[in-house]
Amino acid sequence: MMRFIKLFPIFFVIGIIGLIVSCEDDKTTNPQDQAPAIPPQSSMVINFDEFPDTASGSAPDNPLLLKRNWSWAAGNVAVWNSVLTLTLAVPVAAFVEAFNHQPVKQADGSWLWQFSVSIQEELFTAKLYGKTVTEGVEWKMLLTKQGAYTDFEWFTGFSNLPATEGTWTLNKDPNQVSPFLYIEWKRNTAEGTVDLKYTSIASGSLQNGSYIHYGKTNEIPHNRFYQIYGAEENRLIDIYWNYEQRFGRVKDAIYFEDSNWHCWDERLDDINCPE
């Protein structure tokens, strides 16, 4: 009996220590106690430089008449590149800058990345909020430009907890506070693949529903693709190419007046598509 009495305090103390450790473990594994990972830059930015151009080709002096297939694909990609570069310059630059700063936990459980950033020689104050919820992380970016606007909600978003897929919704600008672009993204870090789709959601616009869909894959022989859809013309353009070797193919039933693939080689010259 005396032996039991002596051992009881020891077991009691061990139990209390175990409970404390267990509580500490629960605290460290609670997602809301850790800052969420910002989705990758590839979730918002298409790398248009991956598409082959004549400047990096082996025969840049060849007439473009020999490159009709590639040039039609390149022209349509360039249009989206120009539009997105112009309209997304400010929110994308602010988003990219956030990776250089540390967040601070807020009273409501969200995390705040707050910083100043110079964009196109103008100074902005950015606030990126990330809040962990049951299904993933909710995101919100507010931008302030002195003398112009304060805490304009430029985009909101959602990502799953592993940051392998999610969405962004962007407003046009402080003068047009309405959604105009919806982004869907996925990535597989183990396989090195990326899937990114921009869709126009500007209400009342003839381009509402237009999209460009980019993919980085491990498929053979084409490991990159674009799908470009124009709502106004109801036109779908499919573009596939090999990133390393530059050859590719394009399909556009309206432009080519058929439903066939039209190919180019590593010099970007038109060729008959392989069987």
Top pLDDT among 226 and 1 is at: 226
81 Cβ neighbours under 8 A, 6+ residues apart: 46, 48
Taking residues 174-194, report their average pLDDT.
Answer: 94
Residue 38 domain-assigned?
no
Instruction: Give me the half-sphere count of Cα atoms (radius 13 Å) on the Cβ side of residue 259.
Output: 0
Domains: count for the chain: 1
Tens digit of each residue's pLDDT (9 = 90 or more) over 120-144: 889 999 999 999 999 999 999 999 9
Taking residues 65-78, report their average pLDDT.
Answer: 93
Segments forming the whole domain that contains residue 59: 49-271
Paired residues of 212 in beta bridges: 198, 228
Q: What count of other Cβ atoms lies within 10 Å of the Cβ of residue 33?
A: 12
Res. 32 pLDDT band, cuts 50 70 90: low
Top pLDDT among 257 and 9 is at: 257
Whether the pLDDT of residue 115 is over 50: the answer is yes
Res. 219 pLDDT band, cuts 50 70 90: very high
Look at residue 176 in the predicted model and tell me its pLDDT. Answer: 79
pLDDT > 90 in the chain, percent: 76
Look at residue 33 in the predicted model and tell me its pLDDT. Answer: 81
Res. 24 pLDDT band, cuts 50 70 90: very low
Distance CA 239, CA 271 (A): 15
Residue 56 domain-assigned?
yes
Instruction: Give me the half-sphere count of Cα atoms (radius 13 Å) on the Cβ side of residue 176.
Output: 10
Nearest partner of 269 among 76, 75, 58, 79, judged by Cα: 58
Considering the entire predicted model, what is its pTM? Answer: 0.84
Tens digit of each residue's pLDDT (9 = 90 or more) over 51-63: 998 754 444 455 5
In the chain, the DSSP E strands lie at 104-105, 111-119, 122-132, 136-145, 149-160, 165-173, 176-188, 193-200, 211-216, 224-230, 235-241, 248-251, 262-264, 270-271
Whether the pLDDT of residue 4 is over 70: the answer is no
Tens digit of each residue's pLDDT (9 = 90 or more) over 229-254: 999 999 999 999 999 999 999 999 99
Residue 9 domain-assigned?
no
Distance CA 207, CA 187 (A): 27
Mean pLDDT of the chain: 88
Paired residues of 159 in beta bridges: 137, 166
Look at residue 111 in the predicted model and tell me its pLDDT. Answer: 98
Distances (CA, A) of 274 to 51, 64, 144, 256, 264: 21, 22, 54, 18, 10
Look at residue 173 in the predicted model and tell me its pLDDT. Answer: 86
Please report the sign of the dihedral spanned by the C-alpha atoms of residue 249, residue 250, residue 256, residue 258: positive
Distance CA 163, CA 233 (A): 35
Residue 32 domain-assigned?
no
Q: Checking phi first, is residue 91 left (phi over 0); if not, alpha (psi -120 to 50) or beta?
A: alpha
Res. 31 pLDDT band, cuts 50 70 90: low
Residue 19 domain-assigned?
no
